Amino acid sequence: MVQLNTVYQLKTINEMLAQVGSADAEMVEHARKAMTFFENERNKNDSEDALVVGVERLLKLYFGRAEDRSIGIEHWHIPNEEVSELLWLRQSINEKILHVSGFPCALFLITGLREAIQGNNVYWTKRHYLELKDTKEWIESYVASRIPSGQMLTLLII
């Protein structure tokens, strides 16, 4: 199984944003090289803060400053300490959807779900996998029910 560290997740997000965002090949390659450098220089223990800061920098790189964006972009990192109860998820999703509600097109990026479900457990089990699958499906259906009918929203759960 692939080890999901911060650099791996940032590389995945970078490749997806390269498809969705600005298509400048030089900028995409620059981001790849920066992550390769970071991977070689990083500590063995990744932090959630590094992932959140990295995602925010990638969003700024591809879509510009938050004030200048023509599309709504919301990033939600689910903290490892939080219990993934549907009531808590519903309340957080409502807040995030509200931030992008005025835009005709929006991107809603969710990170940290896998880590939140795994919690402090060392091994990823079938029970974790099924809980992740069910939670993703619930998030997708709930977000679809909450967005306005005229809005195009891209939901990415990593």
Domain assignments of the chain as residue spans, ordered by start: 1-64, 70-158
Let me know how long the chain is: 158
pLDDT of residue 129: 92
pLDDT of residue 126: 93
DSSP E strand stretches across 90-131? 105-111
pLDDT (tens place) for every residue of the chain, 158 residues total: 344 677 777 778 877 777 766 567 777 777 777 777 766 666 555 566 777 888 888 888 777 787 777 888 898 888 776 555 777 788 889 999 998 888 898 889 998 888 888 887 888 899 999 999 999 999 999 999 999 888 899 898 88
99 CB-near residues (< 8 Å, 6+ apart) = 72, 74
Residue 148 is classified by DSSP as -
d(C-alpha 128, C-alpha 73), whole Å: 29
| 155 CB-contact burial (10 Å; exposed 0-12 / middle 13-18 / buried 19+) | middle
